[in-house]
């Protein structure tokens, strides 16, 4: 697991999330913001067992 930081698209707070880096590739998942509890749609790109890009958008 690797800690990645992002800005919540709902409350604009900077928050961290743990991303599974055991498999390279594009991973999509939904989790709630720790601050405002709204759902966030994440897309994480893992390359060579490291998070190289993390997108955080409001879940629909």
Q: Provide the terminal-to-terminal Cα distance of the chain, rounded to the nearest Å.
A: 26
Query: What is the per-residue pLDDT across 3-56, written as a single tens digit (0 to 9) for each?
Result: 999 999 999 999 999 999 999 999 999 999 999 999 999 999 999 999 999 999
Judge whether 1 and 50 are in contact, CB under 8 Å. no
DSSP track, 19-47: E--SS-EEEEEEEE-TTT--EEEEEEEEE
The pLDDT assigned to 60 comes to 84
pTM of the complete model = 0.89
More confident residue, 60 or 20: 20
């Amino acid at each position: 697991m690797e800690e990645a930081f992002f800005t919540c698209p709902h409350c604009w707070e900077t928050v961290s999330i743990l991303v599974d880096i055991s498999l390279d590739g594009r991973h999509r998942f939904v989790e709630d913001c720790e601050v405002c509890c709204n759902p966030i749609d994440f897309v994480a790109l893992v390359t060579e067992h490291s998070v190289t890009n993390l997108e955080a958008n409001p879940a629909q």
